[in-house]
Amino acid sequence: MKPLSVPERLAKNRFNLDEEESHIEVNQEIARATGTGRAIVACCPAHVYAEEPDGTISVEYAACLECGTCLAVAAPGALKWHYPRGGFGVQFREG
Amino acid sequence: MPEVAEPDFDVIVVGAGIAGCVTAYQLAQQGREVLLIERGEAPGSKNLSGGVLYSRGIQEVFPGFLDEAPVERRITRNCVTFLNATSSVGLDYQDARLADPVNAVTVLRARLDPWLAGKCEEAGVTVMPGVRVDRVLTEDGPAANAAGAAPWHANGTTGRRVVGVQAGDDELRARVVVAADGVNSFLARDAGLRPKDPLNHLAVGVKSVVSLPRETIEARFNLTGDEGTAIAVVGDCTEGVGGGGFLYTNTDSVSVGVVVRLDDLTAQQKVVTDIFDHFLAHRFIAPYLEGGELAEYGCHLVAEGGLKMIGEIVMDGMVVVGDAAGLTLNTGLTVRGMDLAVASAVAAAGGIGAALENKDTSKAGLTGYRERFFASYAGQDMKTYAKAPAFLEHERMYKQYGELFADVLYGAFSLDTRPRRHLLSVARRALAHSPLKMRHLVSDGIAGGRAL
Ligand SMILES: Cc1cc2nc3c(=O)[nH]c(=O)nc-3n(C[C@H](O)[C@H](O)[C@H](O)COP(=O)(O)OP(=O)(O)OC[C@H]3O[C@@H](n4cnc5c(N)ncnc54)[C@H](O)[C@@H]3O)c2cc1C
Ligand code: SF4
């Protein structure tokens, strides 16, 4: 199988994007102070998080596969994460 | 006691995964009014597993399961592979007896779960997909959950009694709420039953489903008809991070993935997608996938704490089942969660049925669930494998053993024109060159025998 980048992989999935509401919010200060920023960039299988040149963490919530890994590794207060509203988000066809 | 409105349902089940569907189905079969709420647009659309379902339990719930349900292949070949950078040592167990009676099948959850939810509907369950439950509704306990003249007393310990759920602006009330909402269980947390899990109790699974023609799969994995192979991989596949890899055959696709422990992943500061890429590109893994097309990419958390992770699973007005209760067993050779979800659901449906019968849905009234679960084979297995998680946390498991085995076999198979030595002395030499010491072999052997 030819190697694919993460965005190429995600392009194979079906998503029902919630245009109105992001389900992820990073507290930049706490994320930086606790190292949560770097940890969630590394552990997210969908590359939702990226560290910008100014050190802030950007969030591409549309790509989220809803595993909860980022929330599990985040320090208290660094991340607000809940499931997308009912019916929105990733729609697995295989699972 | 305050008058409480008649509940909308006997039972509200949150989450139409395996645990939720089986609980709802069995309660409806008992004649109960059941609501099954699922946040996905359709049941299964949020769910992912590796894919090997040990199927005896679910066959008892649905006698026609193997013929009617969308199962992929019947597993008759199990392989365990110690993978090193340039060598690999494996155990390959293929047995026709595993096909009759069928012991394990591969499944894809986005296909299986809708079938289960359909069974629920047939049995009379109200299935409500596309709705996210935001929190549980509680009242101060002991509360009156009026059911005619009979007192629904509560004498639990949390001081709160769950009386229903809230989804958006809607409040729905039931005598019992079942949290079947998976490994992240916001419901169990919300109700105060599950504190934040320590990271060594969690692992992240990253998985691709790769399409391949049926015939290619059968030729590549040495299979006939609907037989299937499950390959468990340890060692180099996770770049030294605690965990493992898997390759499972479906009818016309292969499920391939890695599962890595979060404590180790974060401590070693590895990028999880690098680990997965490394596995896919490994010279002994890539050939299985050659020519395949990616069908889907996904990830999901795995509860890895074993018995230690199971906390309170019963409180006033609520029970927790399946992954939400931390019910997964990773023995290194098998990841089991789906069969435990079934077993806990069966125990919960029994316990809830008895509580409703006795008109006591307090913690004490619902405790039959806990008893039934720990009396079941699944509950017994959780106890049997209680030491497995700690055993598998030893770093040696992931690297050094595979290399040692390969070195011993290299000594045996590489006929380089020098006179041969007995295997035992080859093994001794290999051990001398390995960072492993005899005492590790002995202690791991004993600990492994006890843990696994
Ligand atoms: C990579 C990987 C490999 C695995 N391999 C295997 C294997 O080979 N064999 C095996 O037996 N097990 C395996 N498991 C474990 C198995 O997948 C789980 O144990 C099993 O899916 C648990 O079923 P469940 O019904 O408890 O939870 P889930 O399947 O997670 O179902 C939870 C349901 O609740 C819904 N939900 C959650 N929150 C809400 C809410 N607030 N409102 C409404 N609905 C909600 C979800 O959408 C979902 O449908 C694996 C897991 C992973 C991640
Ligand atoms: S839930 Fe999973 S996929 Fe979504 S952002 Fe967090 S780690 Fe990434």
Range with the poorest average pLDDT among A29-43, B116-130, B224-238: B224-238
Q: How far is the CA of B147 from the centre of ligand 2 (A)?
A: 43
Confidence of residue B4 (pLDDT cuts 50, 70, 90): low
Provide the 8-state DSSP code for B142: S
What does the pLDDT read at residue B396?
67
* Strand B293-303 with A14-16, pairing: unpaired
Residues of B in contact with A2 (CB under 8 A): none
Range with the poorest average pLDDT among A77-86, B70-79, B228-237, B436-445: B436-445
Number of H helices, E strands in chain A: 4, 6
Phi then psi dihedrals of residue A90, to 5 deg: -70, 145
Q: Do A69 and B299 touch (CB under 8 A)?
A: yes
Classify residue A1: in a domain, yes or no: no
Ligand 2: which of B299, B301, B302 to mutate, most ligand atoms within 8 Å of CB? B299
User: Class of the B9-70+108-194+311-388 domain?
Assistant: alpha beta
Question: Mean pLDDT across chain B, nearest whole number?
Answer: 90
Q: Please state, in angstroms and rounded to a whole number, the distance separating the CA atoms of residues A30 and B122.
A: 50
Of the candidates A39, A47, A92, which has its C-beta nearest B110's C-beta?
A: A92
Query: Ligand 1: which atom is nearest the Cα of residue B259?
Result: 1
What does the pLDDT read at residue A55?
94
Return the residue whose CA atom lies nearest to atom 7 of ligand 2: A44
Q: Do A1 and B131 touch (CB under 8 A)?
A: no
Residue B32, number of CB atoms within 10 A of its CB: 21
CATH 3.30.9.90 placement within chain B: 203-303
What does the pLDDT read at residue B436?
79
Q: What range defines the domain where residue A32 resides? A: 6-91
Burial-class residue B287 by CB neighbours within 10 Å (0-12, 13-18, 19+): exposed
Q: Please state, in angstroms and rounded to a whole number, the distance separating the CA atoms of residues B141 and B315.
A: 11
- Please, are residues B11 and B176 in contact by the beta-carbon 8 Å criterion? yes
**CATH number of A70's domain:** 3.30.70.20
What does the pLDDT read at residue B341?
97
pLDDT surpassing 60 at residue B158? no
User: Class of the B203-303 domain?
Assistant: alpha beta
Does the pTM surpass 0.80? The reply is yes
- Please, are residues B423 and B405 in contact by the beta-carbon 8 Å criterion? no
B45 touches chain A (CB under 8 A): yes
Instruction: Tell which wins on pLDDT, B347 or A1.
Output: B347
What does the pLDDT read at residue B382?
87
Q: How far is the CA of A44 from the centre of ligand 2 (A)?
A: 5
Confidence of residue B153 (pLDDT cuts 50, 70, 90): very low
Instruction: Determine which helix (DSSP H) or strand (DSSP E) holds A26, and give its type and residue range.
Output: strand A24-26
pLDDT surpassing 90 at residue B164? yes
What does the pLDDT read at residue B398?
64
B34 lines ligand 1 (CB under 6 A): no
Confidence of residue B142 (pLDDT cuts 50, 70, 90): low
Please give the tally of structural domains in chain A: 1
Question: Measured on CA atoms in the order B195, B201, B207, B213, is the torsion positive or negative?
Answer: negative
CATH 3.50.50.60 placement within chain B: 9-70+108-194+311-388
- Tell me which residues of chain B, numbers 164 to 223, contact chain A at a CB-CB cutoff of 8 Å: 167-168, 183-184, 186, 196-197, 199, 202, 204, 206, 208-210
Helix, strand, coil abundance in chain A, percent, nearest 5: 30, 20, 50
Instruction: Tell which wins on pLDDT, B418 or A69.
Output: A69
Range with the poorest average pLDDT among B68-82, B146-160, B235-249: B146-160
pLDDT tens digits along B372-421:
999 999 999 888 888 877 776 776 666 777 788 888 888 778 777 777 77
Q: Which residues contact B110 (CB under 8 A, 6 or more apart)?
A: A92, A93, A94, A95, B44, B45, B47
- Please, are residues B262 and A39 in contact by the beta-carbon 8 Å criterion? no
- DSSP bridge partners of B81: B90, B233
Q: How far is the CA of B202 from the centre of ligand 1 (A)?
A: 13
Residue A14, number of CB atoms within 10 A of its CB: 12
